[in-house]
Amino acid sequence: MKNEKYYITTAIAYTSGKPHIGNSYEIVLADSIARFKRKQGYDVFFQTGTDEHGQKIELKAEEAGITPKEFVDDVAGQIKDICDCLNTSYDKFMRTTNPEHEKQVQKMFKKFYDQGDIYKGAYEGMYCTPCESFWTEAQLVDGKCPDCGREVKPAKEEAYFFKMSKYADQLIDYINTHPEFIQPVSRKNEMMNNFLLPGLQDLCVSRTSFKWGIPVDFDDKHVVYVWLDALTNYITGIGFDADGNHSDQYKKFWPADLHLIGKDIVRFHTIYWPIFLMALGEPLPKQVFGHPWLLAGSGKMSKSLGNVLYADDLAKFFGVDAVRYFMIHEMPFENDGAITWDLMTERINSDLANVLGNLVNRTISMSNKYFGGVVENKNVNEAVDDDLKAVVTGTYKKVCAKMDELRVADSITEIFNLFKRCNKYIDETEPWAIAKDEAKKDRLATVLYNLTESIAIGASLLEAYLPETADRIVKQLNTELRSFDDIEKFGLYPSGTKVVEKPEILFARLDINDVLAEADRIAAIQKAEAGVVEEEAKEENVIDIEPKVEITYDDFAKLQFQVGEIIACEEVKKSKKLLCSQVKIGSQTKQIVSGIKLHYSAEEMVGKKVMVLVNLKPATLAGIVSEGMLLCAEDADGNLALVTPEKEMPAGAEIC
């Protein structure tokens, strides 16, 4: 038994809605690791939870006509239900609306401010309106926007910034001297090359544009930036105190041994989070693993398509451990995995039903058929037994090696190799043939004992991944799950034990037609729900944007809008998003570059009459001069629609 501690966390789930299967998989992965470590003798603390602040939630709550707190209470409940329905063994479910957490975040923010890590941004001359970006003094190039090189203006709003640059060198050094810190290593390179080496920019850590967040206690116009709020859950959840009065739990468990997160938020966990910790004077987490995603077959999940997969639906239909098995098995280390009803069916049938379920079933059946269910070791050994025993007792080491590398999918495959070896052993020994010879009765008993013992060991290895199944197996064998201390010893199954009379089907084989019928049923329900939602949404399909300052008519009159006809258009080859159009405005033609390639093809642009801002100062984009701006409407998802006159108008007509 080891006496070391092991602190593992998942990312906390954002409470903007019920998470689909792709978001639920992380908790199962973490759970397998946590259970495995516990079984290895580590003192494990496993924390998960919810991230409950932010503008999106504020808006969703408003739409639903309830308070943000009511909204997140509901969603956090759903998320916790999913964690529970997947049988995950978290020790703490942390919510960022927890009052103690909120208090600590405020204290940390104040501490950072007091020690000069956070400063109030002075906006004069620092906001580049066209770029919609805030810049700090250090970032300005000759006092101008470092992006477009134009004048920056005083902004109306103030914000607090965190001096990331102060800690950047220290972080670079840490990452370089701790190669295991960021996993997989490809992520490490991305962080270094894109953020750290080019020079880390200071981060804006407060917002004034919405209210649903933790207020900055010494300046309550501001709420704390959601990431600063969210990331700190890893320490506040175990009793960190900004004044240094940490709980014993914190002293014991921090730093975390593993932050398990999705690959999309690696940046926050490997750059900002370590820097916040440095500023607090706390040690950094030992490892951050940005796992890939489990994607639903081809394309996006959407309710209107009826193809959203939810962990609880799947667990209800396939069983909890079948879903766990699929997630763990299919979850690759570096590339995204796929989940579909077909793939689920295939995995369950071939691995769980055929290999494992059938093995347990046939073994128990034989014990009952030949020995009335009593499994006895008569020690009549043959050479063929040796390899079986070697494989069975050697599996633990292989599984450990894979787990140490966080290759959880590979580790469960090792366990199934053990079961496959058992099936082969049955074929090699042919118990039904031995049974015909009364003189070989003791040999037959030994064979069945070896099988039963092998299964008991296999089930014990499986416990961390499929706890319920492991339990069901040993119950049928009338024994108990074995500790890892005894997992490499063959022969501990008590000789003379009587197994159950009638073996239970662990995993029934699935008929693909039944499965697809279930998929259709769920799809129909989702579509129906989506239909209702869509109709409601139609009436309410509006977007609120950040209000800008009031302008005078004179301000407006400075803008020259005209109808332009696109007479030619081509893609800007070097860019993913830019189209270059020749726009006829009256008798002249202007060249305008627009970031709309993802929404319009060059061909379909030609002939359109669009609204153009004509007197905008020319700028160079991707090396091409742009002499104006095509106006578009943009929805919440970033979809663009060109604005065109609703009646036929000549090119050059003024818009006023």
**Rounded Cα–Cα distance for residues 82 and 174 (Å):** 37
Nearest CB to RNA, comparing residues 192 and 230: 192
Residue selected from 252, 389, 407, 420 as contacting RNA according to rule CB under 7 A: 420
Q: Which 500-539 residues touch RNA, going by CB under 7 A?
A: 505-509
388 lies in the site for RNA, by CB under 7 A: no
For 470, counting Cβ atoms within 10 Å of its Cβ (0-12 exposed, 13-18 middle, 19+ buried), the class is buried
Residue 139 engages RNA in binding (rule: CB under 7 A) = no
* Binding of RNA by 615 (CB under 7 A): no
Our CB check for RNA shows the closer of 307 and 349 to be 349
How many other β-carbons are positioned within 10 Å of the β-carbon of residue 11? 25
348 is an interface residue for RNA by CB under 7 A = no
Shortest distance, position 634 Cβ to RNA, whole Å: 9
Which of 243, 427, 539, 546 binds RNA (CB under 7 A)? It is 427
Beta carbon of residue 593, minimum distance to RNA (angstroms, whole number):
6
- 381: contact with RNA by CB under 7 A: no
Question: Cα separation of 556 and 463, whole Å?
Answer: 69
Nearer to RNA, 79 or 192 (CB): 192
Between vectors from CA 128 to CA 123 and to CA 132, what angle results, nearest 5°? 105
Contacts made by residues 647-654, CB under 8 angstroms, sequence distance 24+:
648/609, 649/563, 649/609, 650/563, 651/562, 651/563, 651/564, 651/565, 651/584, 651/585, 651/586, 651/609, 652/562, 652/563, 652/564, 652/584, 652/585, 652/586, 652/587, 653/562, 653/563, 654/560, 654/561, 654/562
179-192: burial string, b at 16+ Cβ within 10 Å, e else: eebbbbeebbebbb
Instruction: Please say whether the beta carbons of 360 and 473 come within 8 A.
Output: yes
Q: How far is the CB of 536 from RNA (least distance, A)?
A: 30
CB 119 within 8 A of CB 288: no
Q: Does 346 bind RNA (CB under 7 A)?
A: yes
Report the 3 state secondary structure along 220-281: CCCEECHHHHHHCHHHHCCCCCCCCCCCHHHHHHCCCCEEEEEHHHHHHHHHHHHHHHHHHC
Is residue 602 a contact residue for RNA (CB under 7 A)? no
First to last CA, the chain: 79
Q: Computed from CA positions of residues 179, 182, 183, 187, in that sequence, does the dihedral angle turn out positive or negative? A: negative
300 binds RNA (CB under 7 A): no
Q: Angle at the Cα of 30 (from 403 to 97), degrees rounded to 5?
A: 155
Q: What is the DSSP letter of 144?
A: B
Residues in region 187-216 near RNA by CB under 7 A: 189-190, 193-194
- Does position 440 bind RNA by CB under 7 A? no
DSSP at 354 = I
Residue whose structure tokens are 């079986």: 388
The helix/strand/coil state of 43 is strand
Quick count: other Cβ atoms within 10 Å of Cβ 384?
Answer: 12
**Interface with RNA includes 355 (CB under 7 A)?**
yes
Least Cα distance to 293 among 57, 90, 7, 20 occurs for 20
Q: Under the criterion CB under 7 A, does residue 130 sit at the interface with RNA?
A: yes
560 binds RNA per the rule CB under 7 A: no
Nearest distance, CB of residue 345 and RNA, angstroms: 10
Q: Binding mask 567-596 vs RNA (x if CB under 7 A, - otherwise)?
A: ------xxxxxx-------------xxxxx
Q: Is 131 in the site for RNA (CB under 7 A)?
A: yes
Q: Interaction with RNA in 247-266: which residues (CB under 7 A)?
A: 263-264
Number of residues that bind RNA (CB under 7 A): 65
By beta-carbon proximity to RNA, the closer residue of 216 and 434 is 434
Residue 401 binding RNA, by CB under 7 A: no
What is d(CA 232, CA 205) in angstroms, rounded to the nearest whole number? 13
Residue 183, token pair as written in the block: 């996993």
Range list of H helices, 377-466: 383-404, 408-429, 431-434, 441-462
The DSSP letter of residue 628 is S
Q: Kindly state whether residue 442 participates in binding RNA, applying the rule CB under 7 A.
A: no
Residues 359-378 within binding reach of RNA (CB under 7 A): 360-362, 365-366, 369
- Between 540 and 637, CB nearer to RNA: 637
> Residues 610, 626, 642, 651: which binds RNA (CB under 7 A)?
626
The region of 11-19, 355-363, 459-467, 481-489 touching RNA under the rule CB under 7 A is 355-363
Fill in the DSSP letter of residue 104: H
Distance CA 359, CA 462 (A): 15
616 binds RNA (CB under 7 A): yes
Q: Could you tell me how far CA 32 lies from the centroid of its own chain? A: 16
319 binds RNA (CB under 7 A): no
Tokens coding 268: 């926050």
For 50, the enclosing helix (H) or strand (E) is strand 43-51
Least spacing, CB of residue 633 vs RNA, in Å: 12
Distance (Å, whole) CA 8 – CA 25: 15
Q: Shortest gap between Cβ of 301 and RNA (angstroms)?
A: 16
Footprint of RNA on 8-67 (CB under 7 A): none
Stretch that binds RNA, among 145-153, 169-177, 475-483, 559-567 (CB under 7 A): 145-153
Residue 637 Cβ vs RNA, minimum distance, rounded to whole Å? 13
Min separation Cβ 620 and RNA, Å: 7
- Please identify, using beta-carbon distances, which residue of 30 and 353 lies nearer to RNA: 353
213 versus 628: smaller Cβ distance to RNA: 628
Among 66, 140, 621, 649, binds RNA (CB under 7 A): 621
Pick the closer one to RNA by CB: 80 or 150. 150
Q: Going by DSSP bridges, is the β-strand pair 43-51/13-14 parallel, antiparallel, or unpaired?
A: parallel
* Residue among 114, 387, 432, 557 that touches RNA (CB under 7 A): 432
Contact between 601 and RNA per CB under 7 A: no
Tell me the closest approach of the beta carbon of residue 527 to RNA, in angstroms. Answer: 27
Stretch that binds RNA, among 39-47, 80-88, 161-169, 418-426 (CB under 7 A): 418-426
Instruction: State how far the Cα of 174 lies from the Cα of 178, in Å rounded to an integer.
Output: 6
State the residues that interact with RNA by CB under 7 A. 130-131, 147-148, 150, 186, 189-190, 193-194, 263-264, 267, 332, 335, 346, 349-350, 353-358, 360-362, 365-366, 369, 420, 423-424, 426-427, 430-433, 505-509, 573-578, 592-596, 613, 616, 619, 621-622, 626, 628-630, 632
